[in-house]
Amino acid sequence: MSKEKELNEDIKIIASFYGVLNQLDKTIEECSELILETSKIKQYLREHNFDTDWSWREHIIEEMADVLVMIKQLIYIFSCKKEVKSMMEYKVKRQRKRIQEKCNQNNIFEFEIEVDKK
Ligand SMILES: [Mg+2]
């Protein structure tokens, strides 16, 4: 079995074992932890003027993984993989279009991302 398939099977088992109400609570908890970690990083980046050693990186990776695991469980529980994917595509495309319009209005042809990938 591929790692991806194994991950999905494990996610189904976890979601089925704990059930919808517990996993909704767990999602709230994990999202809160991600919000907290995100706020800490934002403060750190501002205080260090974006000059960073990326020492905080492992913390945000852990919290992102926790939230993604919960999202995957909710997708399984609510049986909505295709709907979530097409909603993501719609929202990303819409936002990309808004950026393009803003760039066109302001004659912006290039822009930089504040923190580049490591
Ligand atoms: Mg967590």
The tokens of 94 are what?
A: 């819409």
Split at pLDDT 50, 70, 90, the class of 62 is very high
Q: Residue ranges per domain, the chain?
A: 3-80
Angstrom distance (rounded) from CA 85 to CA 33: 24
**Ligand 1 centre and the CA of 12: distance in Å?**
19
Under 8 Å between Cβ of 11 and 72: yes
- pLDDT score, position 113: 63
In DSSP notation, 62-73 reads HHHHHHHHHHHH
- pLDDT score, position 67: 98
Under 8 Å between Cβ of 57 and 118: yes
**Ligand 1 centre and the CA of 30: distance in Å?**
5
